[in-house]
Amino acid sequence: MHELPLVFFTVLAQGTVGLFLVLASLLMANSDALRQQLLNKLLLVVLVLLGISGAAAMTHLGQPLRAINVIFGLEHLSALSVEIITTALFGGAVFTYVAMVHFGILAKLQKLVLAGAMVLGVLLLLAIANVYTLATVPAWNSGWTIFQFVMTAFVVGIPAAALMLRSQSASLGAFQKNTDRALATLGFIALGLVLVGYPLYLFWLGQVDLPANPLGLFDYHGRLMLARLGLLFAGLGVWVMAATRGNNSSTGLAGVSTVLVLTAELCGRIFFYDLHMFASGM
């Protein structure tokens, strides 16, 4: 599949934004020095994941050295240029915040930089969705594209944040357990939204005037969508039920849940990219 690097880039970038928003929100709400120190260390994982997603996107370029040409696209607000620049600004803001904390620079401005990075993260989610909301691809040209991309940030970011916090449970103590239960509640809400939203999206897709049944475009499409829903339910459902029943420190369970939902979103994104076959004029 030619778009496989973009499948990994979009899913990893969106999940990374979700993870960052959870960790940044906890940093904003906490004044305890030890907790802040541990949460700041976890932000290094955000930078690593964002770097991996960016590397995946670069492999999609035929001439990577020409990536600098993206700057010229800003002249006419190219959606692709805006996406790449927003990705760079988000990564740069997170890096700047981490560096400021590590070297103790301008302590009074650190929270402001963190808040700016949170805004850029949200803008990145919208910028990626804007690239694919194309009038020439009817199967993409709707609010369902934004819904799917934003939900990827939630369903991947929330269990990933729980996994990161559980890895520090010995140091964070009761704070980690209380936060885990709160994240499980958010995970339950996210699970409800996707289990309602994704079938509605498929129903909408069936109403769009397309030359063929999108679920029958390739032999594996039906299995792909069933796998997405099944993996999402298993990944989020098992973790949420265990967390609400008092299992708030097992990194293995949170790790398996994160892998399952990440795999589910990759399945959904492969199906999404296959729909470009319905572009006008093809």
CA proximity to 42, closest of 161, 148, 153: 161
Structure tokens at 97: 């915040």
Predicted TM-score of the model (pTM): 0.91
Split the chain (282 residues) into runs of 10 and give each run's mean pLDDT.
86 96 94 89 94 85 66 76 91 96 90 96 95 87 93 95 92 90 94 91 87 77 88 92 88 94 94 80 47
At how many degrees (to 10) do helices 33-58 and 143-166 cross? Answer: 130
Distance CA 255, CA 258 (A): 5
Identity of the residue numbered 276: H
Identity of the residue numbered 242: A
Mark 200-230 as b/e (b = at least 16 C-beta within 10 Å): ebeeebeeeeeeeebeebeeebeebbebbbe
pLDDT value at position 282?
46
Contact residues for 247 (Cβ-Cβ < 8 A; gap 6+):
253
Over residues 216-270, the pLDDT tens digits come to 777 788 888 899 999 999 999 999 999 988 888 889 999 999 999 999 999 999 9
* 175 alpha-carbon distance from chain centroid: 25
pLDDT value at position 139?
87
pLDDT value at position 225?
87
What single-letter DSSP state applies at residue 68?
G
